[in-house]
Amino acid sequence: GNSVTQMEGPVTLSEEAFLTINCTYTATGYPSLFWYVQYPGEGLQLLLKATKADDKGSNKGFEATYRKETTSFHLEKGSVQVSDSAVYFCALSDDYKLSFGAGTTVTVRA
Amino acid sequence: DTGVSQDPRHKITKRGQNVTFRCDPISEHNRLYWYRQTLGQGPEFLTYFQNEAQLEKSRLLSDRFSAERPKGSFSTLEIQRTEQGDSAMYLCASSGQGAYGYTFGSGTRLTVV
């Protein structure tokens, strides 16, 4: 079956630091890959997505590249801000159903 | 459009009671999903509707759980004879097609005491 493993948190960073959250997946076929973000007190929001190998998703300064050879979709941001403090979820889908990782809590300190 | 709405936001109930949650999807979305999220975990798929038809139910959805989507609009999720293990955030989402256009609601947090 499909599964997602992402880096355990929590992660604490200073403002303007570089952020990487590792995500690897197991899937039959060729899934689409997603990063979702959950800000405190809010619902899940799609951050970025990639639908095929070598695609790069990007949004709000975050990037992730679909690496089929390493079955990975690591999230990166070059310079984080306090407002990036949130829980980040890696997810995959091969049709309509999403399979999520456990989430990584990121706290950015001023 | 106000997005996906869920009601109530919070529910505290005694063990053994029945509870019902409501989800109002984005009006033009024909697909509706329920997920459950426990503390420290990612959301887990429970069930999926396309219009009024319930097309898939997870093994997580025991006989005490039932979901409906009459007329293909809003949906309800009922839990009968609640147990402490049912305590979780119940998330509803809707989409027009596939997993690309998911919009999640803010969830209903259930606490069973």
Percent of chain A with pLDDT over 70: 100
Whether B43 shows a pLDDT value over 70: the answer reads: yes
Q: Provide the pLDDT for residue A43.
A: 86
Rounded to a whole number of angstroms, the distance from the CA of B15 to the nearest CA of chain A is 26
Interface check for A40 against chain B (CB to CB < 8 A): the answer is no
Q: Provide the pLDDT for residue A44.
A: 92
Task: Over range B34-57, report the average pLDDT.
Answer: 94
Alpha-carbon distance of A105 to B8, in angstroms, equals 26
Of A43, A46, A89, which is closest to B105 when you measure between CB atoms? A43
For B53-67, the pLDDT digits (tens) are 999 999 988 999 999
Higher confidence at residue B99 or residue B36? B36
Comparing B50-54, B82-86, B97-101, which segment has the lowest mean pLDDT? B97-101
Q: Do A100 and B44 touch (CB under 8 A)?
A: yes
Contact A100, B42 (CB under 8 A): yes
Alpha-carbon distance of A109 to A10, in angstroms, equals 13
For A25-76, the pLDDT digits (tens) are 999 888 999 999 999 888 899 999 999 999 999 999 999 999 999 999 999 9
Task: Kindly list the distances between the CA atom of residue A84 and the CA atoms of A8, A68, B47, in Å, as whole numbers in the listed order.
Answer: 17, 28, 31
Locate the chain A residue with the closest alpha carbon to B108.
A43
Q: Do B99 and A89 touch (CB under 8 A)?
A: no
Name the maximum alpha-carbon separation found in chain A.
43
Q: Provide the pLDDT for residue A45.
A: 93
Locate the chain A residue with the closest alpha carbon to B41.
A102
Interface-testing mutation among B100, B103, B108, with chain A (most A C-beta atoms within 10 A): B100
Task: Kindly list the distances between the CA atom of residue B74 and the CA atoms of A5, B1, B4, B34, B98, in Å, as whole numbers in the listed order.
Answer: 33, 14, 10, 12, 19
- In sequence order, what are the residues at sequence separation of 6 or more whose Cβ sits closer than 8 angstroms to the Cβ of residue B104? A43, A44, A45, B4, B91, B92, B93
Alpha-carbon distance of A74 to A48, in angstroms, equals 12
Locate the chain A residue with the closest alpha carbon to B36.
A100
**Where does the pLDDT of residue B99 fall: very low under 50, low under 70, confident under 90, or very high at 90 and above?**
low
**Where does the pLDDT of residue B108 fall: very low under 50, low under 70, confident under 90, or very high at 90 and above?**
very high
* Residue B89 token pair: 């955030």
B48 CB neighbours in chain A (<8 A) are 96-97
Residue labelled with tokens 């038809």: B53
Rounded to a whole number of angstroms, the distance from the CA of A106 to the nearest CA of chain B is 13
Whether B68 shows a pLDDT value over 70: the answer reads: yes
Instruction: Give CB contacts under 8 A, 24+ apart, made by B49-52.
Output: B49/B75
Q: What is the mean pLDDT of chain B?
A: 93
**Where does the pLDDT of residue B98 fall: very low under 50, low under 70, confident under 90, or very high at 90 and above?**
low
Interface check for A69 against chain B (CB to CB < 8 A): the answer is no
Instruction: List the one residue out of B10, B9, B12, B8 whose CA is nearest residue B112.
Output: B12
Maximum mean pLDDT: which of A92-101, B16-25, B65-74? B16-25
Rounded to a whole number of angstroms, the distance from the CA of B83 to the nearest CA of chain A is 23
**Where does the pLDDT of residue A95 fall: very low under 50, low under 70, confident under 90, or very high at 90 and above?**
confident
